[in-house]
Amino acid sequence: MSAALQHPSPRQARLRAARSFARRFRRNPLGMAGLFIGLALIFMAIFAPLLATHDPYAPDFAARLTAPGWNYWLGTDELGRDIYTRILYGSRITIFIVALVVFTSAPIGLLLGVVSGYFGGWVDAVLMRITDVFLAVPKLLLALAFVAVLGPGIVNAALAITLTAWPPYARLARAETLAVRNADFVAAIALAGASPWRIITRHIFPICYSSMLVRVTFDMAGIILIAAGLGFIGLGAQPPLPEWGAMIASGRRFIFEQWWVAAMPGAAIFIVSLGFNFLGDALRDLLDPHAKVRQ
Amino acid sequence: MNFQIATKGLATALLLVLAGPAFADTPADTLVIADVIDDVLSLDPHEVSEVGGVLVTTQVYQNLVSVDIEDATNIQGQLAASWEISEDGLTYTFTMNPDATFSSGNPVTAADAAYSLQRAVKLNSRSAFIITQFGFTAENAEERIRATDEGTLAITIDEAYSPSFFLVVLSAYVAAIVERAPLDAHEVDGDFGNAWLKSGAASVGSGPFQLEQWDPAVAIVMARNDNYWGDAPAMARVVIRQVAESATQRLLLEQGDIDIANKLGPDDHIAMADNVDTTTLNGPSSVIYYMGMNQREEPLNDPRVIEAMKWLIDYQGMADSLARGTVSVHQTMIPGGFLGESEYTPFSYDLERAQALLAEAGVELPISLDIVVWNNAPYVDFAQALQATMAPAGIELNLEVVDGGQWLERYRSHDLDGWMGLWGPDYPDPHSNALAFAVTSGDTPDDKETLADRFGFAPGDLSARTMAALRETDAATRQALYEEIQIEHTDISPFLFMFQEQRAIGVRSNVEGLVLGVTFADDRYWNVTK
């Protein structure tokens, strides 16, 4: 037995952990379904122009409110636009909003949480009370107020959701930090002369990553729903953008006769939200350190 | 868990959410109307200007004169029995109808009438311009509008107009006659009882109904005026309910929960065509749909850009497919059915012509314009259709879809590129529209801002010519003047006139005697039986 096998290098260890993770993930059918839906969404967004059968914006008055069929797979809306094509293009907006929210709110939450947990004292008190204020107001209501101030639009809607989405991440990161701030390895690095900034970014951040990842995946469904909600009440994407929530809002008028106008984008929101929930569930089962101990 | 029970429970909950409290058929002596009344801000007749508010004050208040709904040139006495006009055309002397009484039972006197018109001038609300255009101000109102005795009212205007014009304006909602005594009793800090009256707590009119209750954005309830001096209405109550969605109005109408659905979309009318319990009632409407462009902004100040936009609208296509019979193509400022109407419709969709005009103007393409749109059918549909047909020529419309309050606020603020909306005349005379669209404040008698001013339109001599048309006393000459003015106005103005509304409302088949109005909110409910 060689020494290399007994003491694998960090890189080999990471690789091995990833392989074992992938193996266990594959055994989780719901997780795989969620992953598939997520990848399908990204695929749709990237290849929308190739998959589309019509122009997503050009009205065709002659084909107004056509039922689903051979020519229009999911029917047409009140201006004769193909709903299938619009859902395809709408996936780009959905991904854009989700990505913008995740890439802004997760780092903000992580930083505030870790700083708060590591330094403690009055820094902790001040940051956590601010977090409490944001947590105390219902998410959609807060987002609504922000959009009302900023003006309607996709970017503003995403920013408004960000402002409501970071507090849970801050709480989570703080809890993780509190658990390790007095650990021996942190004391050892500090004794070796590392600055607080280095300790936070190089040694505490990585510990938070897995729980953050789980939380973010779970939140994606919520972000999609809030974005659709803002679109539905006219504060998100503006016409003619094929945002799914806005599409449902315009289909509401025809819900008795032409159900597909509202039902199709509704189904898209439903499937994608379900997919992210499955994915988040599976990731939690696999990454949660407490669950791992129980196995 | 019993799945069936759960499903049924869910279905019931959904229905309740959709339908609000579910009634059986409406009571035999109650007329229930579904409409959109969330725009109502006041029920003071001298302050209302929104569609829902005017609809209510039309049932509750009366004027000195009224206009025959069949023939707008036929002016009849209502609270005035007769009138005389002085030689110089400046002084109108009305003899009050001695039979007329208010809902309190007190007679309608000339003093009440004088007080009412003075009050409309002094309150100086958004609709006051309709009567202040005759030169009334808060300072001179008492001198120019005066009761000479119990039954005689004398009004002096600042210059002679076609006599029917002043009388038609007196039939407008803002010239409603109110009872003075209760308003004096509720006056606070010289507000003429406005705070009391605007809340809808009571009404002080002489009309067939009186106001009973107003829950803002929920319902307005009117009760029969038991002291009504004319033929008592058959209905003891008229209830106007807020039902925002066309689909919900249709559901309620089909179930018999309401008698009249005022805001049904074209698709719902078509879907109900086979239902024997309901019918569609068609009527005239003077509402004009247009998009106004703000000429204070570059490059909208170039008339060629505006003209190009007029060639980039698929008028007929939109009327046929989007509006499906609820509008007709109309491209001038005066609605069909009015004196001075014109069938001038020069524009149609012509991309090449528009591109040539834009090239000639030498503007840098694409042009990006922010358009404010009401978040309501049909405005959003119309706006998106324009967005699609203008894009190929390099005119990009960014739609700002907002609620009704914001939509009106933005339109009064001068800082937008374009505004998609409607205009309904305040009284059945061509001047109501002509004043708004073609006259600038310098030429108005009361110096008030007009629609043309809002959009930065410089109409040149059109403004003075429009005022001259108003002073023309011969009807045929006046008609000819308006035709000329309109052709020029349609060609150069920054108003993209598109359609005139064709009114269609849904009613239960047993509803009879409903009279649809001619301006924008003057349907009459007092002869309804069912």
3-state class of B130 per DSSP? helix
Phi, psi of B421 (to 5 degrees): -165, -155
Tell me if B110 is assigned to some domain: yes
Chain B residues in contact with A234 (beta carbon < 8 A): 375, 401-403
> What helix, strand, coil percent values describe chain B, rounded to 5?
35, 20, 45
**H-assigned helices in B200-350:** 246-255, 266-271, 303-310, 315-317
**B428 & B296 share domain:** yes
3-state class of B237 per DSSP? strand
Angle between helix A244-251 and A260-287 (nearest 10): 150
**B439 & B348 share domain:** yes
What does pLDDT average to in each consecutive run of 10 residues of chain A (295 residues)? 62 86 88 94 94 90 88 91 95 94 94 93 94 90 87 88 92 92 90 90 89 89 90 84 92 86 95 94 80 51
Q: Domain containing B353 — which CATH number?
A: 3.10.105.10
ipTM score of the complex? 0.70
What DSSP string describes B292-332?
A: EE-TTSTTTTSHHHHHHHHTT--HHHIIIIISTTSEEE--S
Q: Are B277 and B509 in contact (CB under 8 A)?
A: yes
pLDDT, residue B518, reads 79
Tell me if A35 is assigned to some domain: no
Q: Could you say which of B177, B199, B224 is where a domain stops?
A: B177
What DSSP string describes B394-439?
A: TEEEEEEEE-HHHHHHHHTSS--SEEEEEE--SSSSHHHHHHHHH-
Whole-structure pTM value: 0.78
Tell me if B46 is assigned to some domain: no
**B123 & B84 share domain:** yes
3-state class of B128 per DSSP? coil
Q: What is the DSSP letter of A229?
A: H
Q: Which residues of chain B have pLDDT under 50?
A: 1-3, 5-6, 9, 12-13, 15-23
**B394 & B478 share domain:** yes
**How many beta carbons lie within 10 A of that of residue A45, not counting itself?**
17
Which residue is closest to B382 within chain A, CA to CA? Answer: A79
**B132 & B270 share domain:** no
Please, is A289 exposed, middle or buried when counting C-beta atoms within 10 Å of its C-beta (0-12, 13-18, 19+)? exposed
Domain that holds residue B80: 62-177
Distance between CA atoms of residues A72 and A53, nearest Å = 8
Which residue is closest to A152 within chain B, CA to CA? Answer: B400
CA distances from A7 to A11, A12, A19, A21, A184 (A): 11, 10, 18, 20, 22
Domain that holds residue A107: 80-294
**B354 & B279 share domain:** no
Chain A residues in contact with B251 (beta carbon < 8 A): 256
- Quote the longest CA-to-CA distance of chain A: 77
CA neighbours closer than 13 Å in the CB half-sphere of residue B85: 13
Q: Domain containing A174 — which CATH number?
A: 1.10.3720.10
Distance between CA atoms of residues B39 and B51, nearest Å = 8
Chain B residues in contact with A236 (beta carbon < 8 A): none
Tell me if B139 is assigned to some domain: yes
- What is the count of structural domains for chain A? 1
Check A79 against B377: CB less than 8 A apart: no
Tell me if A50 is assigned to some domain: no
Phi, psi of A123 (to 5 degrees): -60, -45
Structure tokens at B153: 């009212």
Which among A57, A62, A253 has CB closest to B388?
A: A57
Tell me if B52 is assigned to some domain: no
> What helix, strand, coil percent values describe chain A, rounded to 5?
75, 0, 20
**B295 & B325 share domain:** yes
**B274 & B299 share domain:** no
Tell me if A107 is assigned to some domain: yes
Tell me if A60 is assigned to some domain: no
**B340 & B300 share domain:** yes
Q: Domain containing B120 — which CATH number?
A: 3.90.76.10
pLDDT, residue B164, reads 82
**B343 & B479 share domain:** yes
Tell me if B56 is assigned to some domain: no
Distance between CA atoms of residues B289 and B228, nearest Å = 38
Closest CA to B296 of B408, B447, B410, B415: B415
**B488 & B348 share domain:** yes
**B6 & B99 share domain:** no
Which among A61, A80, A253 has CB closest to B245?
A: A253
